[in-house]
Amino acid sequence: MPLLTMNNVHKRFGALTVLNGINMSVEAGQVAAVIGPSGSGKSTLLRVINGLEPIEKGTIEVDGVSTASLQGLREVRKQVGMVFQQFNLFSHLTVGGNVMLAQRLVLRRDKSEAEKRARELLARVGLEEKWGSYPSQLSGGQQQRVAIARALAMDPRIMLFDEATSALDPELVGEVLGVMRSLAESGMTMLVVTHEMNFAREVADRVLFMDKGSVLADGTPEDILVRPTDPRIQQFMRRLTEH
Amino acid sequence: MFLDWGSITTFYGQLLKGAGLTLVITGLAFAIAIAVGLLVCAGRISRVAPVRWASTVYVEVMRNTPVLLQIFIIFYGLPSLGLRFSAVTAGVLGLGLNVGAYLAEIFRAGVIAVPKGHREAATALALSKVQTLIWVVIPVSLRAVFPALSNMFLATLLGSSLLSVIAVPELTGETNEISSRTFLTIEVYSFSTLIYLALTLSCSIGLALLARWLFPRASRS
C-alpha cells in the first residue's frame, strides 16, 4: 500500500482552480520531485496534504489515515513533516526550543528525551553548536537546516519540502540540498517541490510535472527532465536553461 | 511669599498611604483591563459577526467618551439599578473597563503582528489551536506590543488620580484633603507631583527591566 494517496483532489481559490482532480500516490521510501511553472499548483499540492489548505473534493490518505476528519488530520500532521520556503522558525524560541516544542506538546516527550532527540538531529544537520542561538542570529541556510531538524524531530513518515531553497542566497543553497540529499539516502519518503533540476535529476526516484492544477507527467527523472516528450514540458525545460 | 516646605513632613505618612492606594488601584484596574482586553480582542477577531459588532461598539464607546463620565455612571448611576459599589470598587472597575478597550486594540495589533508562517509551522507540527495560541501567538505578540502595554500601564497610574473626584483617598485625593485643610497648596501639590514622578519613573524602569528579561535581544524577529 502506498504511504501517500491522493484521489481526485480538487482545490479552488475563489474562481481559480488550483488543483484539478489530482490522482497520485507515493510509496514508502520514494523521493518524488514536483516541478512545473509557477502557479501550476505545486505548493498547494503539498499544502493540502497536511490540511494547511482545505480541499473541496477528493480524498487524501497518509499511511491509511484519511484527512477528512479533524482527528484523522491531526494524526496525519504528526506523520507528515513540512519544510517551508521561508523557514518559518519560531522567532521567540532558540534553536533548541524550536526543535523541542512540538516534541513536548504533541508527542508528550519529557524534557530530557526531547532535548536528546533535538541535539541528535541538530548534529545531523551540522548545527549542534547553535543550540542556544535565536533564528535571527542564523543565516538563511542555517535556519532552513534547523527547520528540517524541527520537522524530523516528530519522526515523520514523510517529509514535504515546499521550495526549501528558493528564498536562499545562491551560496547557501548547497548546504540545504546536502542535508536533503542525505535524508533521501537514509530512506526517508520525500515529496519535494523544487526548481533545482540538478537535485531532481540526481536525487529523485521520480519526477511529477504539474501544469494548471494537474499532474501532466509522472515518470523517471530521465523521462521528464532529460528526454521529455510533451511539448509543454519541453518548453518549460527550455525556459529554465535560457538565461 | 513664604513657602512652608518644612510642614510637609507632617503629612508624609498620609501621602505615602495615598501613593500606596494609587499603586493598588493601578494594579487592580490593569488586571481587569488585561482580562477585558483579551476578551474583547477575541471578540473583535471572532468569526461570529454579532460578537464582532458588539466588541467594536464596546471599544468605540469606551474610547470616545470621557472616562470620568464612565466612572460616574458606575458610581452614581448604577445604584439606581440596584448595583451599589464602594468608591474604590467603582473607580477600579471604571478605570479597568476603560483601559480594557485600549488594550483590546493593542492585543489585536499584536495578533496581527504574528507572521502567518509561525501559525502554519505550528499547524504543520500538529499543535492544536490552543497550543498554538499559548506557545506561539501570545509570546510573539506580547513581545510586539510590550512597549504599548507599558505606556498604557503608566497612563492608568496617572489616570487613577481621577478617582479623587469620587472621594477615593488615593494620592491626589489625599493631596486635595491636606491642601484644603492646611492651605499649604503649592507645597503639598508640588510634593505630590514629585511622588507621581517617582512612581512612574520607577515603574518605567521596572517594565524596561522586565522586557529585557522576557525578551532577549536576539529573540526579536
Residue B157 belongs to domain spanning: 5-220
Residue A23's pLDDT band, with cuts at 50, 70 and 90, is very high
- If one counts the domains in chain B, the total is 1
**Mean pLDDT within A154-177:** 94
pLDDT at B219: 67
**Mean pLDDT within A127-151:** 96
Residues A195-206: tens digit of each pLDDT: 999 999 999 999
Residue of B nearest to A133 (CA): B218
ipTM reported for the complex, 2 dp: 0.93
Enumerate the β-bridge partners of residue A11: A19
Determine the 3-state secondary structure of A222 from DSSP: helix
Residues 83..112 of A with a Cβ closer than 8 Å to B: which?
84, 86-94, 101-102, 105-106
pLDDT at A57: 93
CATH value at residue B87: 1.10.3720.10
Give the residues of chain B that fall short of pLDDT 50.
none
pLDDT at B5: 79
What is residue B137's DSSP assignment?
I
Residue A243's pLDDT band, with cuts at 50, 70 and 90, is low
Alpha carbon of B126: minimum distance to chain A alpha carbons (Å): 5
Question: How many whole angstroms separate alpha carbon B39 and alpha carbon B103?
Answer: 10
Asked if A133's CB is within 8 angstroms of B139's CB, the reply is no
Residues A166-181: tens digit of each pLDDT: 999 988 999 999 999 9
Is A191 a residue whose pLDDT tops 70? Answer: yes
pLDDT at B4: 78
Asked if A102's CB is within 8 angstroms of B126's CB, the reply is yes
pLDDT at B218: 66
Question: How many whole angstroms separate alpha carbon B90 and alpha carbon B68?
Answer: 11
Residues A216-242: tens digit of each pLDDT: 999 999 999 988 888 999 999 888 877
Question: How many whole angstroms separate alpha carbon B74 and alpha carbon B88?
Answer: 11
CB proximity B130 to A under 8 Å:
no
**Mean pLDDT within A154-162:** 97
Asked if B124's CB is within 8 angstroms of A81's CB, the reply is yes
**Mean pLDDT within A106-132:** 96
Residue A193 neighbours by CB under 8 Å, 6+ apart: A33, A34, A35, A42, A43, A45, A46, A160, A161, A162, A163
Q: Which residue has the higher pLDDT, A4 or B3?
A: A4
CB proximity A11 to B under 8 Å:
no
Residues A62-101: tens digit of each pLDDT: 999 999 999 999 999 999 999 999 999 999 999 999 999 9
Asked if A102's CB is within 8 angstroms of B125's CB, the reply is yes
Contact list in B for residue A134 (CB cut-off 8 A) is: 216, 218-219
pLDDT at A164: 94
C-alpha cell at B145: 506590543
- Strands of chain A (E only): list them: 4-13, 16-26, 31-35, 57-62, 65-66, 80-83, 158-162, 189-193, 206-211, 214-219
The letter for the amino acid at A96 is G
Residues B14-69: tens digit of each pLDDT: 999 999 999 999 999 999 999 999 999 999 999 999 999 999 999 999 999 999 99
Determine the 3-state secondary structure of B182 from DSSP: helix
Contact list in B for residue A89 (CB cut-off 8 A) is: 121
